[in-house]
Structure 1
């Protein structure tokens, strides 16, 4: 299982890190970690449509305790676990070779059919304005428009995609492994968004070619945005980056 392997690798990176603070909330669940070299903030998109009456089994919160739950069937535990993995990843990640660009800049001019996993209207609009054939898949009906496809069709249509841009939320809802399996013909597979803060080593060999995420540059502003439930407030404290998975 992909999440179990990511969890195993993340636990190896968590040594020496302690939990400073955390929150399960909207729009993001977040974990603040600290080590000898400073603090790191990791987030994961909270998916309210997935939440039921779960009871969290974590009695003593810690970085390791949260990471251990990253492959749980309990979506609350899984979301906290992925946020913890992202905190550990952001603590260790080397962004000296990163490109500080938008995800769209990864696509070649002659890009063929692009599959967008998760309806991200600004990205979709920009792709279609360039004349790129774009298939948009979304699980949450509240985010559908007339051209949005149910995520149930990913299994059928992904083999025909030449490039895939997948929201990091695919980690949270447990669909990433299926997406990667069905998108084997794609030359470019990008995991994007705040939930894609993973360390590249955690997804090496999976088929993912790039991670397009956000690095916190103003911790105070980003944390305030998270505590206030603000997309924009959190994102104002960050800078977009792209790293290649080698």
Structure 2
């Protein structure tokens, strides 16, 4: 499982970092860490449809305790674990070679068919306007529209895609392994959204070619937005970036 592999890498990088704050909530679960170079905030989107009557097995919260449970079958533990790994990643990430662009700007005219994993209306609209043939997959029925396909069809249709733009929530629901297996023909595989704050080298050996995420540049503003349950409030403290996976 992919999450088990990045867990081992993240645990090594967590040495010397202190857990400052955390919260499991909507719209994002967050973990705040501090080290000698300052603070870093990591988030993971909370998926209400994945949450059942779970109880968290962490009795003494710590950064490493959260990371250890990122590959748990318990969705609460998995979400907190990914937020913790993202916090560690954001503390260590080097964005000197990052592109400060929107995700859709990566696609060129040679790409004809794009698979979108997770119905993301702004991205769908932008790609429609550019004339791409789209497959839009979504697991949550509440987010379906007349052009949305069930995620059950990903296994069948992904091999046809020249490019894949996947919501980084595929890390939370554990489907990246399957996407990696079925999207072998994609020349571009972009992991997008705040949940994709991973270090790029964590994705070595996968078909992911780029990550489009958000760097929290104003931690206090972003935290206030998260505590108030506001997407827009959180995003006001961030800056979008795109990095290549080496």
Q: Which range, TM-score by smaller chain?
A: over 0.9
Question: Does 1:168 pair with 2:150?
Answer: no
1:164-207 CA deviation, whole Å, 9 max, x = no partner? 00001000011011001100010100110000000011111111
Quick one: distance in 2 between partners of 1:207 and 1:235? Answer: 28
Look up the SS of the partner of 1:137 in the other structure: strand
Which structure 2 segments of 5+ residues have no match?
A: none
Q: How many residues align?
A: 246
Alpha-carbon distance between aligned partners in 1 of 2:13 and 2:150, rounded to the nearest angstrom? 36
Q: Secondary structure at the match of 1:114?
A: strand
Residues 1:141 and 2:109 aligned together: no
* CA deviation map 1:114-145 (0-9, x unaligned): 00000000100110111100110000000000
CA–CA distance in 2 between the matches of 1:13 and 1:206?
Answer: 21
Q: TM-score, normalised by structure 2?
A: 0.99
Aligned to 1:47: 47
Match of 1:234 in 2: 234
List 4+ stretches of structure 1 deviating above 6 A.
Answer: none
How much has 1:91 moved relative to structure 2? 0.2
Separation in 1 of the partners of 2:22 and 2:53? 20
Quick one: distance in 2 between partners of 1:210 and 1:130?
20
* Superposition map of 1:142-161 within 5 A: 142-161=142-161
Aligned to 1:10: 10
Cα separation, 2, equivalents of 1:30 and 1:72: 17
Alpha-carbon distance in 1 for matches of 2:160, 2:13: 36
The match for 1:31 is 31
Cα distance in 2 between the residues matched to 1:15 and 1:147: 46
Deviations 1:15-58 (A, max 9, x none): 10010000000000000000110000000000001100001000
Which residue pairs with 2:19 in the alignment?
19
Partner SS for 2:154: helix
RMSD over aligned Cα, in angstroms?
0.6
What does 1:198-213 correspond to in 2, within 5 Å? 198-213=198-213
Q: Secondary structure at the match of 1:98?
A: coil
Structure 1: how far apart are the matches of 2:109 and 2:38?
Answer: 40
**In the aligned structure 1, how far is the partner of 2:20 from the partner of 2:167?**
27
